[in-house]
């Protein structure tokens, strides 16, 4: 799948505002996740950016499109040590934002943490199976 070179979007792209959550704008499940997150979190609190913007990979060379297509990525800062992926990224979102805090019990215990990891892995597998079945969604 090719990267975006949308000048209109690139002008508003802010890669210095953290945290940055990368999402797959071509995946309907990912778009629903993004839209749900926007209802819980103020736009000033998180920077939601499509993983198809080539500027992401120029600014953060430790990221690859392939990695970002297969796993949730949350950048807390500019360095590779400030990158959370998969269930860790989801747990951080749950624990950090007040409106999402009602789910914080999921990451405060070992059993809850395992439930979040299981949920994330199952959802990600489902997303990948949807992409594989839909000829218009393939990367």
Can you tell me the mean pLDDT for 116-138?
A: 75
Can you tell me the mean pLDDT for 84-107?
A: 77
Indicate the domain borders of the chain. Answer: 7-133
| 3-class SS of residue 20 | strand
Q: What percent of the chain has pLDDT over 70?
A: 78
Task: Provide the token pair at 39.
Answer: 């209802």
CA 77, chain centre distance (Å): 14
Residue 127 near residue 121 (C-beta atoms within 8 A) = no
* 36-40, 51-55, 103-107, 124-128: least confident range: 103-107
50 strand-pairing partners: 23
Q: Quick one: pLDDT band at residue 129, thresholds 50, 70, 90? A: confident
Distance CA 38, CA 24 (A): 15
Of residues 90 and 110, more confidence is placed in: 90
pLDDT given at position 10? 45
What Cα–Cα distance (Å) separates residue 87 from each residue in 39, 104, 122, 134, 136?
Answer: 21, 13, 11, 25, 27
Q: Quick one: pLDDT band at residue 3, thresholds 50, 70, 90? A: low
Q: Name the average pLDDT for the chain.
A: 81
């Amino acid at each position: 799948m090719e990267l975006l070179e949308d000048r209109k979007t690139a002008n508003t792209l802010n890669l210095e505002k953290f945290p940055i959550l990368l999402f797959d704008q071509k995946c309907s499940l990912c778009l629903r996740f993004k839209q749900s997150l926007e209802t819980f979190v103020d736009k000033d609190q998180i920077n939601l950016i499509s993983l198809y913007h080539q500027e992401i990979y120029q600014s953060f060379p430790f990221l690859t499109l392939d990695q970002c297509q297969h796993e949730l990525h949350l950048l807390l800062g500019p360095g590779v040590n400030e990158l959370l992926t998969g269930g860790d990224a989801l747990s951080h979102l749950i624990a950090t934002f007040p409106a999402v805090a009602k789910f914080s019990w999921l990451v405060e215990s070992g059993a809850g943490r395992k439930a979040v990891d299981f949920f994330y892995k199952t959802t990600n597998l489902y997303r990948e199976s949807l992409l594989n079945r839909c000829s218009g969604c393939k990367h």
